[in-house]
Structure 1
Amino acid sequence: MSHASSLADARDPTLATAVHRRLREDILSGRLPPGQKLRLRDLTENYGAGASPMREALAKLAAEGLAEQLEHRGFRVAAAAPYQLDGLIRSRVLAECAALRESIRRGEAAWEEALLLAEHRLSRAARSLDPHRFISNPDWEACHLRFHQALLSACGASPLLAFCDRLREEARRYRALSNTLAYPGRDVAAEHVALARAALDRDAETAADLLAQHYERTGAFVGADLGRMTE
């Protein structure tokens, strides 16, 4: 890359943002696995950006906890150990249950309609692309995300919702790294129906308990699978 091009990269904050977004998605999706070295030379070639925006992107990832800075040795993808998942699930339960209670308290007719629609679309989407073996369906994943966002959307606290979104994305990385995606013996659809019903009935405590159980079940499946993978 030429000196002039490097200077242009350094002055272009949108390039650093775009590179950060791509790197972040590759970490969250598991394409960049935990512990992988993030070598500057390789990254600049693979992502088509200069050293300056790449360093800025890596620094942002480290601040978010998705990358680790090594003393005098660059960066690597952050670890994803089962014990870290336990803390993440606990944080999600605390944050999202608080947001859910407030969303139920404040939610008006538009919130109810949005939640009903989100639950209906989720119930119609197939979790797997193959009826004989589990292959995650991107449409179901998108509907699942919108359903959980709809539950909390009326809480009226944007910083809290942003924090919940960040925790949700971190949890997605653990799910992507795990081979346990079908959750044998578990009726995920029924859990969503019960959760929506409790929220729409304005039963905040039941809804919060169901949400906590929902995340704790997922954490147990994924954590056990990650534990087997690291043995």
Structure 2
Amino acid sequence: MSSPTLTDKVSKLIRQDILEGHLIPGQKLVVAELSKRYSVGASPVREALVQLSWTKYVKLAPQKGCWVAPMCKEELDDLFDSLKIISDVLLRKAMKSGCENWELDVLTSFHKLARVAHTPEQLNKSEWEQRHYQFHCALLEGAKAHNMYGFFSEIINQITRYRYYAINRHSDEALFDVSDHEMIMKLVLARDTEQATALLDKHLNKAHRYIESALTAA
């Protein structure tokens, strides 16, 4: 058995290659080829693929092999339906019980997002996605609801694959506009629960439509 550290490293490398489109949905993943690609032995590759199957980035079929998980509109719709419900519940909880440290985290994560150049020509897509992810996490971490937040994390990690797929295929400047995020941040800090949750829902709907258009155009 390989070391957990090496397995985790290989898992992150494969995950990033899937996100960046170097390994495409439905592509067969051959252990020998991946071992050569990442200059590691077969054991950490096999273990990394099992790890990635837990987060649904990879599909394993006993006796048949392993593939990059496919994408489809039905799964995308299900993920966003779930994300909108859990985000609404968690944001309401966070705005009710969130402390000053939570408010500071929300403010800080927004400013970090806003500092990323957000025109398609200048954009560091990976950095944008990381900071976008951090902003949405910061909004909901104040809810103090460990199990629900774990469910949210699982969903948003799966949606990340779809987001990368979309931005790797066509650029839409509106997707990288921080105006929604800024207004959500201000409404959250003002503890305006109804307007904040309504705008977050609208924001998630826009992202859903953008990704869906990229997926159906493929």
Normalising by the residue count of structure 1, what TM-score does the alignment of the two structures yield? 0.82
Quickly say closer, same or farther: Cα 1:136–1:222, change in 2 above 3 A: farther
Query: SS in structure 1 opposite 2:60?
Result: strand
CA displacement at 1:71 relative to structure 2: 4.2
The 1:217–1:40 alpha-carbon spacing in structure 2 relative to 1, beyond 3 Å, is same
Paired residues, number: 216
Counting only pairs closer than 5 Å after superposition, residues 36-55 of structure 1 correspond to structure 2 as 36-55=27-46
Partner of 2:162: 174
Report the CA distance shift for 1:122/1:43 in structure 2 as closer, same or farther (over 3 A). Answer: closer
**Percent of paired sites with the same residue:** 31
Q: 1:153 aligns with which of 141, 146, 163?
A: 141
Question: Is the contact made by 1:123 and 1:189 (CA closer than 8 Å) also made in structure 2?
Answer: yes
Alignment of 1:70-109 (within 5 A): 70-109=61-100
Unaligned stretches of 5+ residues in structure 2 = none
The code of the aligned residue for 2:162 comes to Y
Contact 1:175 1:181 in 2 (8 A): no
Rg: which structure is higher? 1
- What's the secondary structure of 1:125's corresponding residue? coil
CA contact (8 A) 2:118 2:177 kept: no
**Aligned-partner Cα distance in 1 for 2:39–2:176:** 44
Detail structure 1 runs of 4+ shifted over 3 Å in the superposition: 135-143
Shifted more, 65-74 versus 218-227: the winner is: 65-74
RMSD of aligned alpha carbons:
2.3
Q: Do residues 164 (structure 1) and 152 (structure 2) align? A: yes
Q: Answer yes or no: is 1:211 the counterpart of 2:200.
A: yes
Residue type at the aligned position of 2:43:
S
Q: Per the alignment, do residues 52 and 170 of structure 1 end up closer, same or farther by CA in structure 2, a change over 3 Å counting?
A: same
Query: Which letter maps to 1:221?
Result: Y
Q: CA deviation at 1:51?
A: 2.3
How many angstroms does 1:42 deviate by? 0.7
Q: 1:26 to 1:108 in 2, by over 3 A?
A: same
**Residues 159 and 30 (structure 1), Cα distance of their counterparts in 2 relative to 1, 3 Å cut:** farther
Corresponding residue to 1:60 among 30, 51, 59: 51
Q: Where does 1:117-156 land on structure 2 (aligned, <5 Å)?
A: 117-128=108-119, 130=121, 135-156=123-144
Question: Which residue identity does 1:157 align to in structure 2?
Answer: A
TM-score by length of 2: 0.86
Cα deviations by residue, 1:19-43 (Å, 9 ceiling, x for unpaired):
2222122223322110000011111
C-alpha change, 1:61 and 1:195, in structure 2 (3 Å) is same
- Residue 14 of structure 2 is matched in structure 1 by 23
| TM superposition shift of 1:167 | 2.2
SS at match of 2:9: helix
Query: How far 1:183 sits from its partner (Å)?
Result: 5.0
Q: Which runs of 5+ in 1 are unaligned?
A: 1-9
In structure 2, distance between residues paired with 1:12 and 1:124:
37
C-alpha contact 2:118 2:173 (8 A) present in aligned 1: no
Does 51-60 or 210-219 show the bigger shift? 51-60
Alpha-carbon distance in 2 for matches of 1:220, 1:183: 14
- Equivalent residues of 2:27, 2:67 under 8 A apart: yes
More deviation, 11-20/91-100: 11-20
